[in-house]
Amino acid sequence: MSLDVYLKNDPCPHCGLSAPGFDANITHNLNKMAESAGIYAIVWRPEEHGISHASQLIGPLEKAIALMKSDPERYKQYDAPNGWGKYEHFVPWLEKYLEACKAMPEAKVRASR
């Protein structure tokens, strides 16, 4: 089981083209780590928590990444025993997601679980 996140730009009202979006996949085994960092709800279930645009994710992702980097051992306890879902993969994934949110703050957010 995994999580797919998408950022999609609206088409230009003049030409109908849209800028490339963003998509990323990560294992659902990281749900407990995300919950501990306070971001499970907005990353896994954005639509249920009023998150519709990338700009709404920037602050919470920045905060969670800072928390996770400040105390790695706290979060590594949630590493999946089978190796599918580890801190060392989740933090860079979150950083890429944050970077994409900053690059396209008006993009619409969608998550598929």
Instruction: Check pLDDT > 90 for residue 19.
Output: no
Confidence band for 15, pLDDT divided at 50, 70 and 90: confident
pLDDT of residue 17: 81
- Mean pLDDT, rounded, for 56-61: 98
pLDDT of residue 14: 86
- Three-state SS for the chain is CEEEEEEECCCCCCCCCCCCCEEEEEEHHHHHHHHHCCCHHHHHCHHHHCCCECHHHHHHHHHHHHHHHHCHHHHHCCCCCCCCCCHHHHHHHHHHHHHHHHHCCCCEEEEEC
pLDDT of residue 12: 81
46-55 pLDDT, tens digit each: 999 999 999 9
Instruction: Check pLDDT > 90 for residue 88.
Output: yes
Confidence band for 11, pLDDT divided at 50, 70 and 90: confident
Q: How many distinct structural domains can be found in the chain?
A: 1
Instruction: Check pLDDT > 90 for residue 78.
Output: yes
Range of the domain at 84: 2-112
- Mean pLDDT, rounded, for 81-87: 95
Question: Contact at 8 Å (CB) between 53 and 47?
Answer: no
